[in-house]
Amino acid sequence: MRYSLISPTFKRPDEVSEFIASIAKLSYPREAFEVILGDGTPGDALRPIIKRVADDVDLPVKVVYKEFLPVSDARNLAAAAAEGDVLIFLDSDCLLPRDYLNKVDLGLTRDGWDAFGGPDAAPSDFSHLQKAINYSMTSPLTTGGIRGGKQSTSTYYPRGFNMGMKAKVFKAVKGYDTAFKCGEDVELSIRINEAGYKVGLIPEAVVWHKRRSNLGQFYKQVRRFGSARIALARQHKGQMKATHAFPAVFMLTWVAAFALHVTQVFTLGIYAFHAYFLVIAILSSIKHLNPFVGLLSMVSTAVMFAGYASGFMAALVGRPAK
């Protein structure tokens, strides 16, 4: 067994069904990979749906179940049942392109990573809002742009929506820290780096990431990201960088600019913020060939900054997001 594809699941039957269906379309030999889901859905209600979808696409899917299983625990339990030489952790709101595992093979052969990550993107058939959120989360114009693109082990940390490692590496670092309720993927990546393993990006190994379906859900998600950053900094020395505080500084400055716009300096500041969001709207419109996606990207970026800043500042004063 070459690869074990692992994902935590909790309700969201449509999302999980699409995830399984995309794996069934992989061009990689079926006998060389397995699929394991760590599920915490109340009443084991998701299992019959998983079985039906898996049978429909003729794909064996192993389910490790415990009611209300947290994310880190779900990944650890699924990994304990894995038989692959390489464990690949994915999120159930991702879809895999047909050649995903072929691209992973290519990267591992070429670079010899002990642990690796891949980028996320939005295909042409995603909704306008999904494309906008993806742009906010991946654009070089936002802090989302630091999520990938660097292969240095000192700066690049694979994320849980698309990260893999040799099974022996996962075992050596003792898997996910179950004390982390958010940011557990980055925390694991930090420990792998600190242990001296060779870690890097496989840029070709892209997953299609659907993310949250509305701005309210997106706000809650990024708020937890902001809160997790404080927990990571407290757990691991040197993990707080200026870029991590940028969304909070950005939002505080924006609010101050509006509140104190009576002075010329802050009036100019408002114009600068307007110009920044206008650039985002223009570039996203060009990228997606759709001005509506550009406008939504402006909104989703504001929501991303606001959510992250809220979680970051709340955790800073001892009130982490749940």
Confidence check: pLDDT of 173 > 50 = yes
pLDDT confidence bin for 148, thresholds 50/70/90: very low
Which is more confidently placed, 311 or 90? 90
Instruction: Round the average pLDDT of the chain to a whole number and report it.
Output: 88
Q: Among candidates 235, 39, 274, 126, which has minimal Cα distance to 137?
A: 126
Quickly count: other Cβ atoms within 10 Å of residue 12's Cβ.
Answer: 15
Q: Which helix (H) or strand (E) holds 297?
A: helix 291-316
Q: Which residues contact 150 (CB under 8 A, 6 or more apart)?
A: 156, 201
Q: Among candidates 56, 45, 73, which has minimal Cα distance to 21?
A: 56
Torsions phi, psi for 95 (to 5 deg): -120, 140
Each domain of the chain, given as residue ranges in start order, spans 3-118+158-211, 225-316
- Secondary structure (H, E, C), 221-235: HHHHHHHHHHHHHHH
Which residue shows structure tokens 């890097």? 200
* CATH code, residues 3-118+158-211: 3.90.550.10
Contact 227, 311 (CB under 8 A): yes
Confidence check: pLDDT of 125 > 90 = no
Q: For 175-211, what is each residue's pLDDT tens digit? A: 999 988 788 999 999 999 999 999 999 999 999 988 7
Confidence check: pLDDT of 321 > 90 = no
Rounded CA separation 168/99 (Å): 25
- Secondary structure (H, E, C), 300-317: HHHHHHHHHHHHHHHHHC
3-state secondary structure of 271: helix
Which is more confidently placed, 268 or 147? 268
State the pLDDT at residue 142.
81
Which residue shows structure tokens 């304990």? 80
State the pLDDT at residue 265.
53
Which residue shows structure tokens 């998600």? 221
Q: pTM score, two decimals?
A: 0.85
3-state secondary structure of 129: helix
